[in-house]
Amino acid sequence: MNLSAHVTRKEFEHSDTAIRAGLDNTMNATQLAKAIEICEKIFEPLRAFVGRPIRINSGFRGGAVNKRIKGSLTSQHMKGEALDLPIGSKEFHFIKDNLPFDQLIAEFPIAGEPTWVHVSYCKGKNRGEILIATKSKGKTVYLPYAGNEKLVNS
């Protein structure tokens, strides 16, 4: 089943952690509807901008998978509302400037380039929150994005 023109349900639900641990990582109908929304509103316009396939590092994560990776207890991945994508600052800025989103996070930038980008979409409730994730004393810290053209890891 396709969620959008270029994303399959299998790809959105794929989790190496789930496979290794024998955990079910299947979306229910509500999560599936939200996954379709983010694929149509975020993934497809981004893919058109990039002009080539984009791999999804992480889409849906069921509760057991999220717990196993020590994900946030309120992770939007568990709702089918989030994607982690291996894209750079150019794509980050495209999303920021052109697409509706709830959260946009440049994850652990190195030399101005995010290691990956987390983006979420929450139909009717998008906050437009932009953050930079960094490490401080071994813990992940989320800093507000100040509008700098370069993403800098503090």
Whether 153 maps to a domain, the answer reads no
- The Cβ of residue 134 has, within 10 Å, a number of other Cβ atoms equal to 17
Split at pLDDT 50, 70, 90, the class of 134 is: very high
Full domain range(s) for residue 53? 2-144
**Residue 97 Cα distances to 22, 27, 58, 100, angstroms:** 40, 30, 23, 9
Q: Give pLDDT tens digits for 1-30.
A: 999 999 999 999 999 999 999 999 999 999
Whether 53 maps to a domain, the answer reads yes
Q: CATH number of the domain at 100, please.
A: 3.30.1380.10
pTM: 0.93
Q: Tell which residue, 108, 51, 48, 120, has the closest CA to residue 84.
A: 120
- As for how many domains the chain has, the answer is 1
Q: Give pLDDT tens digits for 60-85.
A: 999 999 999 999 999 999 999 999 99
Whether 69 maps to a domain, the answer reads yes
Q: Give pLDDT tens digits for 98-112.
A: 999 999 999 999 998
Q: For residues 110 and 106, what is the distance between their CA atoms, to the nearest angstrom?
A: 10
Whether 123 maps to a domain, the answer reads yes
Whether 150 maps to a domain, the answer reads no
Q: For residues 58 and 1, what is the distance between their CA atoms, to the nearest angstrom?
A: 18
- The Cβ of residue 92 has, within 10 Å, a number of other Cβ atoms equal to 24
pLDDT above 70 coverage of the chain, percent: 95
